[in-house]
Amino acid sequence: MSTFLLEIVTPDRLVYSEQVNSVTVRGVEGELGILPGHIPFVTPLQVAPLFVKVGNERTPFAVQGGFVEVRKDKVVILAESAERAGEIDLERAEAAKERAETRLNVRGRQDEIDHRRAELALQRAMNRINISDGNGR
């Protein structure tokens, strides 16, 4: 079975660097499955799960935006943050979700920027929670 090098990089660290069979990401235009020999491209990523497949094992990561760059023999994920399920602090993610939901429910003086920031915070928290509980929806 063919493989390619996948690197997941954040501003803080190299999160992952292994030979993989495939990676599935959610770009701005939808879900993308990347296999060896894929045509080169670059696209922004959504706040969404990323799935790495090596053999029969599928490993999810909570990716918080960034870009995917597909090269001839290598794929690089440049993410704002990326965490495996075991690295996620579920209590912190649940608290962030509750704070974001509270901000979203408060109407009135709240301006659009605060509302959008709360929506993004909620997306990030839900992404972490989904990966942490093993569902990776």
Mean pLDDT by 10 residues, the chain (137 residues): 93 95 93 95 92 94 92 93 78 77 65 67 76 63
CATH code at position 71: 2.60.15.10
Q: So what's the pLDDT on residue 28?
A: 87
| Residues 69 and 8 placed together within one structural domain of the fold | yes
CA 22 to CA 96: how far, in whole Å?
Answer: 31
| Residues 50 and 98 placed together within one structural domain of the fold | no
| Residues 82 and 94 placed together within one structural domain of the fold | no
Tokens matching residue 113: 């920027």
CA 78 to CA 13: how far, in whole Å?
Answer: 11
| Residues 94 and 82 placed together within one structural domain of the fold | no
| Residues 78 and 98 placed together within one structural domain of the fold | no
List the domain range (segments joined by +) for residue 60. 4-86
Query: Structurally, how many domains does the chain consist of?
Result: 2
